[in-house]
Structure 1
Amino acid sequence: MYTKHVSSLMRSSLLGAFALMILACSCKSRDKDTDEREKFLEKERKVLIIGIDGCMPAGITAAKTPHLDTLMADGTYSLQARNTGTTISGPSWSAMLTGVWEEKHGVTDNSFTGSNYTKYPHFFKVIKDADSKYRTVSVSQWHPINDQIATMADVKVNSRDSSKDTKNKAIIELKKEDITAMFVHFDDVDHAGHGSGYSIENPKYLEAIETVDTAIGEIMTALKRRNNYINEDWIILVSTDHGGIGTGHGGDTDEERTIFMIVSGDKVPKVNLSKTTSDSLYTPLTVDLVPTALAHLCIPVQPEWGLEGTSLIKESCNY
């Protein structure tokens, strides 16, 4: 009797200890999962926007562009996006960086006469208004972008007139830890178009695209070598202001209006918006860049801003 009682007690104790072990392991596993989720959620969201002036989507297809190809493969993109405004750099970059068309931002040519950036500012101002600690950087080969549109950027760098210098200056800024949003503008593709033709039959035009692609590859390498990169959540947006026809642009042809849009990042769905399938729910527009960047930064768009674009991504943010 005594032996059976002791045996029963021992069995109960062993079962209790085993249950506690399972509970402890389960809690430890849940804690680990929670830690991993929180670690991911706590990553600092950051934006890199790269503008390639005068780059026709057909040029990307015809040229050797392994780095742009990688960004497209890792995200949402369209080679049939549209610029429905004036196909000139002043109004086009204004639309892309303010999120509104020229009827609102007021710029109709490269003189920037009539600009209304007070009411419809560069989206860097929206970022700074959301958090004054956010740091914005604009590196531009075409100086009017910094001198006219991005005047409120914390850091403005006008590069010399070459893709190489633009790339080098961008990499210098990327080595600084406190960037929230950065814009980099390349102009050599547009120079090649004006100089000898916006055409995939023009070797100089394709060569300029390939040179910029190589520069983008070096910029991406520098980004991934940032000291805190493992704790950062970057979204990369790449686009152009317009295409071209002959040696010019500013008209209403498909060659001038058709642009490309790339949105790449760890959480960005892999979607080709150019497909003529059910995936093709929306044709991206120039003004979509700003709401897309703001969505990634978890900055809710306010109606009074009057933005005219649509975000190309869906972000789950705890507003």
Structure 2
Amino acid sequence: MTGHILVVGIDGVRLDTLRAARTPHLDAVEAAGWLAGFELSEDAPTLSGPTWASVATGLWPRVHGIHGNVFAGHRLAAFPDVFTTAKRRGFATYVGATWSPLVTTEHGGPLFAAPTRLAYADGHALGHDRADQDVADDAARALGTGGFDAAFVYLGEPDEVAHELGTGPEYTAAVERADRRLGQVLAAVRARPGFAAERWTFLVVTDHGHRDEGGHGGRTRWERTAWLAACGAGIGPQAPTGVSHVSVAPTVLDVLGQDLRHESHLAGVSLLVHRPAAPSAAVAAVPAPAGV
């Protein structure tokens, strides 16, 4: 039996900042499932391009060929993003993003080649706060009413603020705004007329962290530490071993009912631990935080 999956990627969120910030919506995801920190692969610098490509393809940089923020030399034709794979197999997919290489030809992209519906807001042209909000608004409308099987929503403001201002109060505020946008999209999914009979799995993931003064690409503790949170259908109460960026793609395919024995090229394994026997037992709504 197939389900639905929403993956929210929030760029450049340090785990220690996340723990100190007020993030009730991500806290609710963790309370309904788990949140796990992990160390980035040493296969590439701690940059957005390689890590989001690993999220999207389920492969390490040495295979997908993206080692920096310019995607020249990629092998995406041979190893496409999982949402393109899902669409080719008849599933409806949604991608919303504010960083151009993810969804345009700039810098050798796109990473996500051909979703059923694409929402793009240029963070550099519009400002990253506004662009993230535009994408969150579109995602809430589309996922709240449309028939999408798999979705990826990217929010980039925290990373940009850290680059410009470091990891102080402005950065924490940007992380909290990202959490509110996460909550907006989750609320729209919960409000779907058929949600009670649907089987939704939710993943939230960051790509890398930052140095105190802002910036990344090295191997200091907070640059190399990422995290992934999960809840919903098939997600157990504790994180499985081996959680990493390459866990996302096989989880997407597993939620969609694809036989992972035919996906042996993937570097990671699915995060699902079970599938409920009936829709009524599928997944309680991600709890809405009190007072938010």
Shorter-chain TM range is 0.7 to 0.9
Moved more, 96-105 or 226-235: 226-235
Superposed CA RMSD in Å reads 1.9
Indicate the residue corresponding to 1:21 in structure 2.
none
Which is higher, the Rg of structure 1 or of structure 2? 1
Give the drift of 1:304: 5.8
Q: One-letter code of the match for 1:268?
A: I
Deviation at 1:107, TM superposition (A): 0.8
Given that 1:177 and 1:228 are in contact with CA atoms closer than 8 Å, whether structure 2 keeps it comes out as no
> Does 1:77 pair with 2:35?
yes
2:21 aligned with 1:58: no
* Alpha-carbon distance, 1:267 to partner: 4.0
Report if aligned partners of 2:12, 2:159 keep a CA contact under 8 Å in 1.
yes
- Is 2:103 the partner of 1:103? no
Q: Corresponding residue for 2:159?
A: 190
Local SS of the residue matching 1:149: coil
Q: In structure 2, give the amino acid aligned to 1:230.
A: A
Whole-angstrom distance in 1 between the partners of 2:69 and 2:198: 36
Pick aligned residue for 1:173 from 120, 137, 142: 142
Post-superposition offset of 1:283: 3.8
- Match status 1:116 vs 2:85: no
CA distance in 2, matches of 1:182, 1:65: 22
Residue 65 (structure 1) shift = 0.4
Cα shift at 1:176: 3.3
Instruction: State how far apart, in whole Å, the 2-side matches of 1:57 and 1:268 are.
Output: 21
Q: Is the 8 A contact 2:100 2:122 kept in 1?
A: no
- Cα distance in structure 2, aligned partners of 1:62 and 1:114: 39
Structure 2: how far apart are the matches of 1:104 and 1:121? 11
> How far apart, CA to CA, are the structure 2 residues paired with 1:286 and 1:142?
18
| Alignment-mate amino acid for residue 153 of structure 1 | P
1:53 and 1:186 in contact (8 A); partners too: yes
The residue aligned with 1:217 is 183
1:227 aligns with 2:186: no
TM-score w.r.t. structure 1 length?
0.78
CA distance in 2 between counterparts of 1:190 and 1:126 reads 28
Deviation of residue 56 (structure 1)?
A: 1.0
Tell me the CA shift for residue 173 of structure 1.
Answer: 1.4
Does 2:274 match 1:315?
A: yes
| 1:247 Cα deviation from its structure 2 partner | 1.7
SS of residue matched to 2:119:
strand
Please tell me whether the aligned partners of residues 56 and 244 of structure 1 are also in contact (alpha carbons under 8 angstroms).
Answer: yes
Equivalent residues of 2:50, 2:61 under 8 A apart: yes
Unaligned runs of 5+ in 2: 105-109, 124-128, 278-292
Match of 1:16 in 2: none
| Alignment CA distance shift 1:188-1:259 (3 Å) | same
Q: Which runs of 4+ in 1 moved over 6 A?
A: none
For residues 1-319 of structure 1, the aligned pairs below 5 Å read 45-78=3-36, 80-84=37-41, 85-86=43-44, 87-129=46-88, 131-132=89-90, 134-147=91-104, 148-161=110-123, 162=129, 163-197=132-166, 199=167, 202-245=168-211, 246-271=213-238, 273=239, 282-302=241-261, 306-316=265-275
Deviation at 1:62, TM superposition (A): 0.6
Query: Which residue identity lines up with residue 211 of structure 1 in the other structure?
Result: R
Partners of 1:230 and 1:316 in 2: CA distance? 16
Q: Secondary structure at the match of 2:95?
A: strand
CA distance in 2 between counterparts of 1:252 and 1:311 reads 27
* Aligned residue type for 2:98: Q
- Alpha-carbon displacement from aligned partner over 1:140-161 (angstroms, at most 9, x marks no partner): 0112111211112111111242
Structure-2-length-normalised TM-score? 0.84
The answer to whether the 8 Å contact 1:74/1:268 transfers is: no
Relative to 1, partners in 2 of residues 1:317 and 1:264: Cα closer, same or farther, differing over 3 Å?
Answer: closer
Query: What do the CA deviations read for 1:16-42 (whole angstroms, capped 9, x no partner)?
Result: xxxxxxxxxxxxxxxxxxxxxxxxx6x
